[in-house]
Structure 1
């Protein structure tokens, strides 16, 4: 059964992948409208194939502007908060509805389609769902495959990002190495707008290093490690967690590090935190 409460993979809101999604969806839609001829294309009388391609390009690209606006908005929101799977699915549904509304108005107002508005809307939703869902599904599978392939290559080459006995390398968003430290000295990572603060144990005290990167990217880097996301603003080295306590405001993590602050556990991450806690209790 699909867990709708889990967070979406970071590759969904990656800027480069968003650009790829927009161009691939536009190309797929252009091929789709010229082969399948939806949205009243069959009423475009006395046009050559070249003219049909030109007119359909304008129609499709205008409709795809909905996707462009939607994905730019999603990218901005994803920098401030984590999107859950059910929220992402609702987002896609909204994209389909808004694009279908555009094509319904196009057929009714521009092409003067005689069918009723409800029938036009129904057909437009069906066709738009094909235009949206097929390329989205293909790209989701491709992005997932590429990420797993990159992780496997890193393991084969001995470049796994996290090992409690080795150094952890932190790169900024441009891929430039900014900090390396022993994994056992890493305490927690805190989000700070377009930066993260890396809190680590150094010479008997807690030190902090500011890095231009996102917590979501680092979460992917530390997948299947002791570094666990416990809050939209925090990741914690679970090896440093001493006590999990429940307050009136929810769960909090006490760390086995002098002068380190307690970290909150938000509701969306309780399950993963408790699952990690269960592993330590075995």
Structure 2
């Protein structure tokens, strides 16, 4: 902020010289912004997003975060200046300046996230069948219950309200078990690279993949042993296509 001097910080001194007091105020302003962002991320965010998060929701969240942070700085700036610039045009200018300044760090964070995602996908691009005898343990919200399955027997996992239904093969017959947990919790466990989230309601086992129909927007997965196709939503289709290369 000292270098670009947005938000009217050059109004502090007509000669625009950086004094110790000016630097301390800038440090305090930075700490104030950090507290705003912590409150935004750990208080407001959990109140709004309580289920699966989609890309369009992330964009809206970033848009809100820019307005929220810029408004906080606008109020802080006017508080220091005795509310001398408390105008709509000044508030809009703060939003524009904050958005412009945040483009570089947000782009860096986005590129870092994509690189990490590609690295993880590359690391899990293996022959799924070689681990078919691995035992997969799915914990329940009831701490006394632990459900174990052979990876090669799991077909897919489906969300059912406060439960998930694990569809598996038992004596060559498709069966299912209900477990009290959520699909997100199972997905977060990263149980095996063959178990891939393809929809807000489904995780499929690519060991049993029979066919994939679709494009870069959506698709349908057909698994062996079952007749109904499983949808692939836009949020997960890129990951599925990468795994199927």
Residues of 2 paired with 1:186 and 1:265: CA distance?
Answer: 18
> RCO higher in 1 or 2 (8 Å CA, sep ≥ 6)?
1
The answer to whether the 8 Å contact 2:158/2:164 transfers is: yes
The answer to whether the 8 Å contact 2:138/2:148 transfers is: no
2:10 maps to 42
TM-score of the pair, normalised by structure 2? 0.63
Residues of 2 paired with 1:122 and 1:143: CA distance?
Answer: 30
Instruction: Report runs of 4+ in structure 1 exceeding 6 Å deviation.
Output: 192-195, 218-221, 252-256
Which of these two proteins has the greater Rg computed from alpha carbons? 2
Residues of 1 paired with 2:47 and 2:203: CA distance?
Answer: 21
The answer to whether 1:163 aligns with 2:128 is: yes
The answer to whether 1:128 aligns with 2:86 is: no
Distance 1:82 1:240, change over 3 A: same
- The Cα of 1:96 is off from its aligned counterpart by 1.0
- The Cα of 1:186 is off from its aligned counterpart by 1.9
The answer to whether the 8 Å contact 1:189/1:235 transfers is: yes
2:156 maps to 188
Distance 1:234 1:154, change over 3 A: closer
The answer to whether the 8 Å contact 1:189/1:197 transfers is: yes
* Between structures 1 and 2, the one with greater helix share: 1
The answer to whether 1:200 aligns with 2:165 is: no
1:12 maps to none
The answer to whether the 8 Å contact 1:66/1:95 transfers is: no
Higher mean C-alpha deviation, range 142-151 or range 38-47 = 38-47
RMSD: 4.7
2:216 maps to none
The answer to whether the 8 Å contact 1:64/1:99 transfers is: no
The answer to whether 1:81 aligns with 2:46 is: no
Question: Is the partner of 1:214 in helix, strand or coil?
Answer: helix
